[in-house]
Amino acid sequence: MTGIKRWLAGFFIVVGYNSLTLFGATLVTFAAGAIVLLLILGAVGVAKSAYLGILTFLVFPVVFVAGLLIIPLGVLWQRSHGGLSIKDGLAGPYPVLDFNKRHVRSVVEAIAVLTFVNILIISVVAYEGVHYTESVPFCGQVCHEVMEPEFAAYSDSPHSRVACVKCHIGPGASWFVKSKLSGVRQVFAVLFDTYARPIDTPVKNLRPSTDTCEQCHQPDKFTGDRLRVIPKYMEDDENTKVFNLLLMHIGGGHGEGKGIHSWHIAPGRKTEYLATDEDRQVIPYVRVTEADGRVLSFVSQDSELTEDEIANAELRQMDCIDCHNRPTHIYEMPGPAIDKRMDQGLIDPSLPGIKMAGREALERAGAEDGDIGMIAEIIRAHFKEDFPEILEKRAKDVDQAIATLEAIYRRNVFPDMKLTWGSYINNLGHEVFDGCFRCHDDGHATKSGEVIRQDCDLCHAMLAWEEEDPAVLADLGIE
Ligand code: HEC
Ligand code: HEC
Ligand code: HEC
Ligand code: HEC
Ligand code: HEC
């Protein structure tokens, strides 16, 4: 007999043992075939859906392993029922492996070859499976409804090509294990529908940013100033375009000179704070420890804390995420979102009153249970009432404005997750949320009277504030 034939015979000696072993072997064969097929389809790019990954790396592997476990169970069952009809060699309480007998050799060879194949399949599945559970489709799209808001905002952000795990897990084995354990908890939260809507923030146990953000951003490479040109449209009939021009004092992370990063992420300086609410918005106490050991304690004038409470408080050490808490899940507010689309030409600024009507439509549509249908209603009513000729002559522009407003809504409002305008706080800035002004309010003071300053030129120079034609822009040659 040729080798293959002998192995097959050996295989059937083992699996054809009884109906249980045969059942196990059928499961294994079926699952292995399905896994291999899906791996090939995935590799050539035919089947790319996030859900197929669940089949390839979760469902079929479970079937595969279950099958593998059932085979020896079948053998054991047979043994315990005494009736070992199989030819000599396997009949005693323990098998006598007499290699002089050909079928014994066949069985052992068959088991060796199949075990090798099984280990190969399991390794490939484990390797690819780990990659899969770290992929953006798995994190962002499998639990579609739950992660839809994060995925939508992420996809439209500067980090849309950075994998979720780079920020949420980072390198190293211990965080890998933590993430898989927390992943199992999350799967149960989804299965039993016990997750918070919207998902709670700040994210507890988020890994410190030194291990995540700083994989790519090297603080000592920050430097200088950055010009921010922020176009805005006023809420008048003409949608008058104005500019805010800010020169952001980014500063260098090496701590020299002045600036946001120079001060806040200077080497050796530690800034810690106490927040009395879940959202970390109310900050009665800030403590700075300088590299030379000098300590500055700032207490808010609104603080009702006793000396004892301050001394025993658990402080949070400030890192990138206390300012950049929305580096990628950046949700917009109606006003600035419309400004951006008008500037991009997606909403025609020559449509009278569209800025105000658009903002109102978005705000009202996003209230309570959310109703995207209100947007078209409100916009059409606005034109019908005040500018009826526009609806006739510029129907296409109106339609496009409505479609764009609806797209803004879909990117930022998720009624199923109870997420609407402003649900997630953004700490970078101070216009909509307190942000920097949680501390920089001129009201946090040390005993000797130093305060955390709010001077308008501390963080940025205001080159223009709601100016129609800022001279600076022309000087800089910016159109
Ligand atoms: C550039 C880094 C970065 C990337 C990439 C990233 N996140 Fe986040 N994510 C954060 C930070 C920082 C927070 C914490 C916000 C807080 O605690 O206030 C966060 C918060 C979250 C939250 C809590 C809810 C919320 O909106 O704050 C979820 C859920 C989440 N991320 C999922 C994802 C998914 C899914 C992906 C990939 C599609 C992803 N993240 C990619 C940095 C990132
Ligand atoms: C895998 C690399 C990577 C990681 C990790 C990463 N970033 Fe970034 N980040 C980038 C790149 C690349 C850009 C530039 C994107 C561009 O300009 O289009 C960027 C841009 C930024 C910007 C500027 C955005 C703007 O408006 O211009 C900020 C702020 C930022 N990252 C903060 C963070 C924070 C905070 C974290 C950690 C939570 C983080 N990044 C993690 C690669 C990364
Ligand atoms: C005290 C708050 C604060 C902290 C802490 C902070 N940043 Fe920033 N960062 C800012 C502000 C404010 C800007 C300017 C934003 C703007 O231009 O509107 C900025 C800008 C940036 C930019 C864009 C720089 C450029 O030149 O365009 C990057 C990248 C960045 N930060 C990354 C980080 C990283 C990484 C950390 C942690 C090591 C960090 N930041 C810590 C407040 C902070
Ligand atoms: C948890 C409290 C806290 C928060 C939040 C905070 N800061 Fe600060 N910041 C301080 C303290 C304390 C100082 C030192 C006192 C001072 O210089 O006013 C400081 C100093 C600064 C300085 C002074 C730099 C110099 O050269 O003197 C800048 C710039 C600055 N912060 C920018 C920011 C920006 C931008 C934000 C918001 C994105 C922010 N800070 C948020 C606590 C905070
Ligand atoms: C502690 C730092 C800090 C101080 C002090 C500060 N700002 Fe700001 N401001 C910021 C940051 C950071 C942003 C940009 C946020 C962003 O990236 O959109 C900003 C943005 C602005 C904007 C533009 C908002 C927009 O989106 O158009 C205006 C206007 C402004 N600040 C006015 C002021 C005025 C007036 C003062 C003095 C009372 C002041 N700021 C003090 C940090 C500061």
**How many Cα atoms occupy the beta-carbon half-sphere of 235 within 13 Å?**
9
DSSP state of 419: B
DSSP assignment of 139-192: HHHTTHHHHHHHHHHHHTSTTTTS-HHHHHT-SSHHHHHHHHHHHHHHHHHHHT
For the chain, the average pLDDT equals: 90
pLDDT number for residue 90:
52
Instruction: Determine whether the shortest distance from the Cβ of 252 to ligand 4 is under 6 A.
Output: no
Specify the pLDDT at position 83: 56
Residue linked to tokens 């609407």? 420
The rounded Å distance from CA 311 to ligand 2 centre is: 36
- Ligand 3: residue of 206, 218, 260 to mutate (most ligand atoms within 8 A of CB) is 260
Ligand 5 atom at shortest distance from the alpha carbon of 456: 37
Amino acid (one-letter) located at 136: V
Nearest CA to ligand 1 atom 36: 164
Average pLDDT on 323-339 reads 97
Residues 6+ apart with CB under 8 A from 318: 264, 271, 272, 273
What DSSP string describes 77-114? HHHHT----SPTTS-SSS----TTSHHHHHHHHHHHHH
With a Cβ cut-off of 6 Å, ligand 5 is lined by 230, 244, 246, 428-431, 436, 440, 454-456, 458-460, 465
Rg, C-alpha atoms of the chain:
32
* pLDDT(86) > 80: no
Residue 233 three-state SS:
strand
3-state per-residue secondary structure call for 433-459: CCHHHHCCCCCEECCCCCECCCCCCCC
- Which band of pLDDT confidence, cut at 50, 70 and 90, is reported for residue 72? confident
H/E element, 321: helix 320-323
Which pLDDT tens digit goes with each residue over 388-447?
999 999 999 999 999 999 999 999 999 999 999 999 999 999 999 999 999 999 999 999
477 C-alpha vs ligand 3 centroid, how far in Å? 26
Rounded distance between C-alpha atoms, residue 373 and residue 409, angstroms? 11
* Environment class of 198 (CB within 10 Å of its CB; exposed 0-12, middle 13-18, buried 19+): middle
Q: Where are the beta strands (DSSP E) in 198-294?
A: 226-233, 241-248, 270-274, 285-289
Cβ(78) to ligand 3 under 6 A? no
Name the residue with the closest Cα to ligand 5, atom 40.
Answer: 456
CB 138 within 8 A of CB 56: no
261 lines ligand 4 (CB under 6 A): no
Domain ranges (residues) in the chain = 3-133, 137-206, 226-327+428-476, 334-417
Pick the closest to residue 320 from 260, 249, 248 (CA basis). 260
Residue 200 and residue 279 in contact, taking contact as beta carbons nearer than 8 Å: no
Whether pLDDT at 165 is above 80: yes
* Nearest protein Cα to ligand 4, atom 33: 260
pLDDT digits 0-9 by tens, 200-259: 999 988 999 999 999 999 888 888 899 999 999 999 999 999 999 999 999 877 777 789
Q: State if residue 215 touches ligand 2 by the CB under 6 angstroms criterion.
A: yes
